[in-house]
Chains A and B, each alone.
Chain A
């Protein structure tokens, strides 16, 4: 397969997998009168767990500028809406990189 074909195959697979998550909950989960609370808790934790796992090395193992800006983003996220948080984070990382960190 060429790179382009492979990319398109992957994109279609991503769309199909995501579509299954959207219709699957109703089609599969609703057949069970009760969902095991442990399974529900594990499923409920998936997005936070996966996004944390992806973000942790980006925040802590990329450089000092990224780590400092990430710390600021965590603090800002408790108080500010997302667009303000992104502007602060990006401005800070640009300034810190320019300062040579």
Chain B
């Protein structure tokens, strides 16, 4: 609190926090509504996979990263393939490293506690909205208004899905198992605007299939991911040099 402008703002601190929080809640509402079915489907599939309701809710509360949680379910088996699941989840969530580095430039005025708590709730939509709506200084109240409703909603919907998911008979008859495949394909297509995305995606698919048919699972994940990452690195151009 050494910056002069924050002292001026401090006069209205409580109401300013509240106003920022409410603005965040308003901005996240459409996304929150659209994540409701995913939370329910996650809970239901988790129950089908054999997780207890407590385990499903614990996963949503500690991980809070939808795509990676579906990946974990995909490989959940007896005995548990501990490292396959841990490394797959870590790989899918590695994108947070880049978000975190980018957002950190706007949060220099946060306290250490605000950073440790706030960044723990970092997700794709909160990052996108914080980048889009915040100027050079990201208001902590606004950020919490974006993140906290999403977090609470994710946990509550997981619990609902897990409780009701136990009543679903065979998930294949209603196509519930295919939701995950379709969701992953849609996510991959949504990455198409990134640098040399088409080449990366084709390399990953080819590498994964090759390893899947020869060495077998779970090595196809590492094989496909390595093929895509190596190609992305090879195709990258240094920013400093003029093209």
Q: Which A residues lie at the B interface, using CB under 8 A?
A: 3-4, 6-8, 10-19, 21-26, 28-30, 35, 37-62, 66, 69-70, 73-74, 77-78, 82-83, 85-86, 89-91, 93-94, 97
Contacts and interface: CB of A to CB of B under 8 A. Distances in A.
Interface stretch (B16-24, B112-120, B155-163): B112-120
B6 interface: no
B209 interface: yes
A91 B184 contact: no
A62 B180 CA distance: 13
A12 B184 CA distance: 24
Interface stretch (B7-15, B74-82, B128-136): B74-82
B220 A53 contact: yes
B243 to A, nearest CB: 13
Interface residues of B, number: 100
B228 to A, nearest CB: 3
Interface string B182-213: 11111111110011010011011101110011
B111 to A, nearest CB: 14
Nearest to B41: A86
B9 to A, nearest CB: 23
A33 to B, nearest CB: 12
Contact of A47 (B52, B85, B95): B95
A25 B179 contact: no
Interface centre among A8, A29, A53 (most CB of B within 10 A): A53
14 contacts: A10-B82, A10-B85, A11-B63, A18-B89, A23-B116, A26-B115, A28-B97, A37-B237, A43-B98, A48-B200, A50-B71, A50-B88, A53-B224, A57-B212
Contacts, number: 281
Interface centre among A3, A7, A49, A62 (most CB of B within 10 A): A49
Tell me if A's interface is mostly helix, strand, loop or mixed: helix
Contacts of A60: 209
Nearest to A53: B224
A25 B233 contact: no
A18 B236 contact: no
Nearest to B223: A53
